[in-house]
Structure 1
Amino acid sequence: MAASKFDLWLIDKLRSLKTDESVFGSYISGILEGEDTVDEKRDALEDILSEIVKKDISIHVQEILEKWEECQPKKEAAQPATDVDSKLAKLLESQTLATTTRREYTDEEKKIREAILSQYSQLSDNEEDQAQEEQNESPDLVKNTNALDVAAAARERREQARLDAQKKKEKDKEDREKQKQLKEEKKEKRKTQKGERKR
């Protein structure tokens, strides 16, 4: 799937903040695509960006939210109900409605008509009984859970992205600690070597 205008912008934005756009980008997109309110999205974005940057967090969050809104397809404004009602009324007025004339049936035609109607009503009753029997035979109809499945999958993706971001943060922290420790050890070695040279 091709990256959207917003995705491309977000990648550049995260690169400018010197962070891993693949981990944080998917997590931020997951938050924005969710069903949460704008305030909930803002809070979640502030939490994430607080891990990336130390200052101007609210400015970055506002910029992301504005760009997201700008890149969303515009929804057509709904026509007022009165407009639809008035159009329907005009349409009905312009059409000429066919009027039916009542036909008088002879006694013989009435008997035939009643026989046909009674035959169809019996068939209808039999069909209803048959449908009821079929329903009783298979009461375990499968419930459609597509919407629930999609929501659960989206929730799972967001959670996975959050966990990935947390792991990356912890790994980065460990790497910084190791680098700091190696620097200290090198510093100590140099001090020791200088001390030995002086003797």
Structure 2
Amino acid sequence: MAAAASEFEPWLTDKLKSLKTDEGVFGSYISGILESEESTDEKKDALEGILSEIVERDISIHVNEIIDKWESCKPKEEAAKPAADVDAQLVKLLESQAPATTTRREYTDEEKKIREAILSQYSQLSDNEEDEVNDVVTENHDLVKNTNAADVAAAARERREHARLEAQRKKEKDKEDREKQKQLKEEKKEKRKTQKGERKR
């Protein structure tokens, strides 16, 4: 995935700059979504949610562009070798091995009886051992469940949520700043009008 990141991240930075947004906050969030194990549809939904905070129109075009670029930057998995090659290698391997020769031994009546006695003794022993194992398993039914995968997924979700909240805060701050600038502009305009009016008198 390092090759994908080295090619994709500069492109994404330029893309976000062209959309006039903070590539530091939104870039890491978008990369996190793309690197997740979610389906492409889920990734598209998440990206649409982010981009709706950045741009007002052509959101699906931008989303598709990001997904396409990500897919093109991902290293291509090695194409599976044709089945014919595998079959040919298997045939060679089997031919190279010497055929095993087995000779069947004839047992006397006495040897057969001894053999049967030993086998019956082992089969009884195996049955008893199985019962013991089952008893142990039922006694230890309260073993701790492995939650590693769930913990990792929860941590990834938490990181994405944190990045989303950061992006939302940044967007709100930018909006406030734009409103303040607009208000200052309006006030300056009004001030100029009143000054012009006073000069005319």
Out of 144, 147, 155, the position equivalent to 2:146 is 144
Distance 2:60 2:131 in 1: 66
Q: CA deviation at 1:174?
A: 1.0
1:13-24 matches, within 5 Å, as 13-24=15-26
Q: Which residue in 2 is equivalent to 1:30?
A: 32
Q: CA deviation at 1:72?
A: 0.6
Does 2:75 correspond to 1:64? no
State, as a whole percentage, how many aligned pairs show the same letter.
81
Distance 2:52 2:7 in 1: 25
Secondary structure of 2:116's match? Answer: helix
Give the TM-score of the pair, scaled to structure 2: 0.75
The alpha-carbon distance between structure 1 residues 182 and 32, as it changes in their structure 2 partners (threshold 3 A), is: same
Q: Which moved more, 1:41-50 or 1:119-128?
A: 41-50
Distance 1:102 1:172 in 2: 87
- The letter of the residue matching 1:36 is S
Secondary structure of 2:135's match? Answer: helix
Distance 1:193 1:66 in 2: 56
Give the TM-score of the pair, scaled to structure 1: 0.76
Q: Which residue in 2 is equivalent to 1:96?
A: 98
Secondary structure of 1:4's match? Answer: helix
5+ long unaligned stretches in structure 2? none
Residue-pair matches, total? 197
Q: Which residue in 2 is equivalent to 1:153?
A: 155
Q: Which moved more, 1:20-29 or 1:75-84?
A: 75-84
Query: Is the 2:53–2:168 contact (alpha carbons within 8 Å) kept by the matching residues of 1?
Result: no
5+ long unaligned stretches in structure 1? none
Q: CA deviation at 1:109?
A: 3.3
The alpha-carbon distance between structure 1 residues 164 and 120, as it changes in their structure 2 partners (threshold 3 A), is: same
Q: CA deviation at 1:31?
A: 3.0
Q: Which residue in 1 is equivalent to 2:119?
A: 117
- The letter of the residue matching 1:142 is V
